[in-house]
């Protein structure tokens, strides 16, 4: 029987369930927990690097990469949300490390592909916002594009050469020439577009936060800081995953599956 309602969940690693399937590559990985907000230790870095060493080659094999990401998503809060809601399909179109631009792009793309299968007022969108210090850009180069024809960069990408090479100037300017204020405005603009797009098309949209968005705003530092309170009102955050205040987290700071389950319960009450 076809389900009558649809929820599209879009976000970064905290929605994609990054680390949650780490046991596939490192035995006992998800049982190796650390106190929340604890500073990184050398021992902890070694465990993270062990998983990264195993998963990095997956980027060269789309089938294996998609399998690993799907296993992570099976343990993330959107999957647990679907179990809580009868008659509802929940689509998780998230991916680790992506920008607000790509998050919005994926949400809109998913909606356009599925809109004819559901009534508009039966479609809800949940966007878990990420850091405004990430850059997204349309990508059609066959060697670098993903299934959404998009690519994102974070400051961590500068540890290696930027690829594709034709994006070097754009990425450099974003991270080193623009100010906090400019990067925030870019994120606010695209998130506002998402709000307008989905509400205009009869869908409800909810913005939630893992911890990254709020942490970034807390550390906000630029000459127009007084404007921050006005910008925060534009994108109302209805739930924060960090408010669950979990005692322990996974090695690379992501939340455990238990925290994902608890967050799904909160989302179910919101919907």
pLDDT digits (tens, 9 = 90+) for 100-154: 999 999 999 999 999 999 998 999 999 999 999 999 999 998 887 789 999 999 9
* Residue range 143-191, pLDDT digits in tens: 877 899 999 999 877 777 888 999 999 999 999 999 888 999 999 999 9
Domain region containing 150: 5-270
* Residue range 66-111, pLDDT digits in tens: 999 999 999 999 999 999 999 999 999 999 999 999 999 999 999 9
The overall pTM is greater than 0.85: yes
CATH number at residue 201: 3.40.50.1110
If one counts the domains in the chain, the total is 1
Query: What is the crossing angle of helices 100-114 and 180-200, to 10°?
Result: 10
């Amino acid at each position: 029987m076809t389900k009558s309602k649809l929820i599209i969940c879009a976000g970064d690693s905290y929605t994609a369930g990054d680390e949650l399937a780490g046991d596939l590559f490192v035995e006992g990985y998800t049982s190796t927990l650390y106190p929340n907000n604890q500073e990184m230790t050398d021992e902890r870095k070694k465990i993270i690097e062990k998983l990264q060493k195993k998963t990095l080659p997956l980027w060269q094999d789309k089938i294996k990469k998609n399998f690993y990401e799907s296993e992570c998503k099976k343990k993330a809060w959107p999957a647990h949300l679907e179990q809580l809601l009868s008659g509802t399909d929940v689509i998780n179109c998230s991916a680790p490390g992506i920008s607000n631009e790509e998050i919005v792009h994926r949400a809109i793309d998913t909606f356009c592909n599925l809109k004819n299968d559901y009534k508009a007022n039966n479609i809800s969108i949940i966007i878990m916002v990420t850091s405004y210090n990430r850059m997204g850009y349309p990508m059609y180069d066959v060697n670098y594009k993903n299934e959404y024809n998009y690519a994102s960069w974070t400051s961590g990408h500068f540890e290696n050469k930027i690829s594709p090479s034709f994006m070097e100037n754009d990425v450099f300017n974003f991270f080193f020439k623009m100010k906090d204020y400019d990067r925030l405005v870019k994120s606010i603009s695209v998130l506002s577009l998402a709000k307008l797009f989905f509400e205009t098309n009869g869908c409800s949209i909810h913005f939630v936060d893992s911890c990254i968005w709020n942490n970034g705003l807390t550390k906000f530092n630029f000459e127009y800081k007084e404007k921050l309170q006005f910008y925060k009102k534009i994108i109302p955050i209805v739930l924060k995953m960090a408010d669950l205040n979990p005692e322990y987290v996974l090695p690379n700071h992501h939340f455990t599956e238990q925290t994902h389950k608890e967050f799904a319960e909160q989302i179910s009450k919101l919907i």
